[in-house]
């Protein structure tokens, strides 16, 4: 490890928690707060991919913090940023698609006795093991997309696409 890398590691060791708080409290606020660590990692990666000369200049000028926080602000707002493509654009569709694909009426019949519920449960059992696992984690184990992403190492966009596919399969099988 060269001296520049040592100095950068030392700087991040000293300032990382401050950066996390700033991103969480001032940039990725409210519903986007769950993405603050991911957002920060995208910007740290962006910093680390700069040339050694650029990194040295930012370190010498005390501009690393400014670079990282501005990067986070840009990444969360821009619809063309890597962070947006990987995380943010799926936020709203995740809310819509996290519901069951069958809408049940409010009659007095127990859910387990309903034909549409039975059809949905049978359709889930017939799914490929991968799709069945995802839907069981989401609906029955109440896992969030972020938890599933971490547990299985699947990108958020792939999870979103796979869940849409699963919902469409269930809807088609049950004619809903």
CATH number of the domain that 113 lies in?
1.10.10.10
Q: What is the DSSP string of 6-51?
A: HHHHHHHHHHHHHHHHHIIIIIS-GGGGGGHHHHHHHHHHHHHTS-
Q: Do both 67 and 97 map to the same domain?
A: no
Model confidence, pTM: 0.52
Q: Do both 117 and 152 map to the same domain?
A: yes
Domain that holds residue 96: 91-174
Q: Do both 55 and 106 map to the same domain?
A: no
Q: Percentage of residues in the chain with pLDDT exceeding 70?
A: 84
Q: Do both 81 and 142 map to the same domain?
A: no
Q: Do both 74 and 11 map to the same domain?
A: yes
Helices and strands, counts by H and E, the chain: 10, 0
Q: Which residue has the higher pLDDT, 88 or 6?
A: 6
pLDDT at 143 over 50: yes
Burial state string for 62-71 with b = 16 or more CB within 10 A and e = fewer than 16: eebeebbbeb
Q: Do both 125 and 69 map to the same domain?
A: no
| pLDDT per position as a tens digit, 88-140 | 555 544 444 445 554 555 555 666 677 778 888 899 999 999 999 999 998 88
Say how many domains are in the chain.
Answer: 2
Report the pLDDT value the prediction gives residue 109, as an integer from 0 to 100: 62
pLDDT at 53 over 80: yes
Report the pLDDT value the prediction gives residue 97, as an integer from 0 to 100: 45
CB atoms within 10 A of CB 59: 15
Q: How far from 2 is each of 114, 120, 150, 172, CA to CA, in Å?
A: 67, 59, 32, 59
Q: Do both 79 and 126 map to the same domain?
A: no
């Amino acid at each position: 490890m060269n001296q520049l890398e040592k100095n950068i590691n030392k700087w991040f060791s000293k300032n990382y928690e401050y950066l996390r708080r700033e991103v969480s409290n001032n940039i990725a606020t409210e519903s986007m707060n769950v993405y603050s660590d991911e957002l920060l990692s995208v910007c740290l990666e962006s910093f680390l991919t700069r040339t050694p000369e650029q990194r040295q200049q930012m370190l010498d000028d005390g501009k690393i913090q400014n670079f990282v926080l501005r990067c986070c602000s840009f990444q969360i707002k821009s619809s063309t940023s890597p962070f947006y493509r990987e995380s943010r654009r799926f936020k709203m569709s995740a809310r819509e698609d996290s519901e069951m694909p069958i809408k049940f009426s409010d009659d007095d019949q127990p859910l387990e006795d309903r034909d549409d519920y039975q059809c949905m449960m049978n359709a889930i059992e017939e799914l490929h093991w991968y799709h069945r696992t995802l839907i069981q984690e989401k609906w029955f184990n109440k896992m969030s997309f972020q938890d599933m992403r971490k547990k299985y190492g699947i990108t958020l966009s792939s999870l979103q696409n796979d869940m849409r596919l699963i919902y469409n399969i269930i809807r088609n099988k049950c004619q809903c």
